[in-house]
Every structure is written in C-alpha cells, then in structure tokens.
Amino acid sequence: MSRVERLRLLFAVLLVVLALDQATKLLARRHLAYEPGRTYLGGVARLEYAENRGAFLSLGANLPAGWREGLLAGLNILLVVGLTIYLVRGRDLNRWPTLALALLISGGLGNLIDRVIHGGAVVDFMILGIGPLRTGVFNIADLCLTTGAILFAFTGATSKRTEEAEPDSEGSDAK
C-alpha cells in the first residue's frame, strides 16, 4: 500500500471509530448512568455504566490522581504518535497491518478524548460473557484496541515473512 492509501484508510477508520465510540459513550452517560445494568441475549450481553480511571481492567486506578492522569494520558499519546509514525513511514505495510494500526490509533484516541474531557476517566459500558465467564466492562475504543492488537499480531508478523517467501519478480529467473 502506498502512503496515501494508508492515510486514507487511517482517516476512514478514525472517522468511523471516533464517531461510534463517542456517540455510544454519550448514550451510556445519558441512559445508563445511575441506572441498574441491563441484560440482553439471555445474559450474554450486559450494558452497565462505569467510569474507569485506570487502564485495562482498572490497572493503576489507585495511583494518586496527578500521577495516574499524567501517566495514562502520556502513555496514550506516545502510543498514538508512535503507531501513527510507524503507519505513515512503514514501507512494508499491506492492508491488514495498516487496518490493525488504524484500529489501535483510533481506539487510543477515543479513550484519550475521554481522559481529557472527563477528568481522567474513561466511560465503559459493555460486558460480554457466557455463564460465569465474563469480560471486564469496556467500550468501542477498547474493542478496537483489542481487535487491532490481535489483527496486528497475526498480520503484522506474517506480512513480512510472506513477502520474503515470494520470489522477487525482477530478475528472479536471470543468472
């Protein structure tokens, strides 16, 4: 993929993810806050409002407020900037690793927006599970971060190997 194609994909994913993420968080604040959780699909899906001041599964939520907010916002900014630079400058990125990076960047930005607007807290509202096996509470940005990480783990690691395994089309038969 060319740099322009990668940037187009990034901006398209950013637009969709940020719109969905912020809209669903707004709906959660309006309709789920101060209400009991709601269960759907026989208990598989649950909507329940939560504000997460920490990272994944509230990691770091007990740190002093100033340290926590600075650390989490700073790491988030570093992640977003670093992945964006990698996406823009990466020469061996095809569509799947680019999509994975765009999901990671979008998810990171979605949660960063929350941290800045809501005093360091991220709005979470979804829980999935079957029987006693349940996820932690999460949001669209978290879903994109997880999906992007899994997709990159599989496609980012294999895309270069696939390209190296393919014969070079320039002069591969000539000796």
Residue environment code for 61-76, b if the CB has 16+ CB neighbours within 10 A, otherwise e: eeeeeeebbeebeeeb
Q: Looking at residue 174, what is its pLDDT?
A: 45
**Does 124 participate in catalysis according to the annotation?**
yes
For the chain, the structural domain boundaries read 3-163
Closest CA to 102 of 130, 46, 160, 141: 141
Contact 18, 109 (CB under 8 A): yes
Question: In this predicted model, which residue has the larger pLDDT, 5 or 53?
Answer: 5
pLDDT in tens, 14-57: 999 999 999 999 999 999 999 999 999 999 999 999 998 867 65
Please classify residue 135 by burial: count the beta carbons closer than 10 Å to its beta carbon, then call 0-12 exposed, 13-18 middle and 19+ buried.
middle
Q: Please identify which of the residues 21, 114, 124, 173 carries the catalytic annotation.
A: 124
**Does 114 participate in catalysis according to the annotation?**
no
Rounded to whole angstroms, the Cα distance separating 143 from 147 reads 6
**86 half-sphere exposure, CB direction, 13 A CA radius:** 18
Look at residue 130 and tell me whether its pLDDT is greater than 60.
yes
Look at residue 67 and tell me whether its pLDDT is greater than 70.
no
Report, as an integer, the average pLDDT of 111-127.
91
Could you give the percent of the chain with pLDDT greater than 70?
81
Look at residue 111 and tell me whether its pLDDT is greater than 70.
yes
Q: Please identify which of the residues 21, 114, 142, 173 carries the catalytic annotation.
A: 142
Please classify residue 138 by burial: count the beta carbons closer than 10 Å to its beta carbon, then call 0-12 exposed, 13-18 middle and 19+ buried.
buried
Look at residue 69 and tell me whether its pLDDT is greater than 90.
no
Closest CA to 140 of 120, 172, 110: 110
Look at residue 60 and tell me whether its pLDDT is greater than 80.
no
Look at residue 77 and tell me whether its pLDDT is greater than 80.
yes
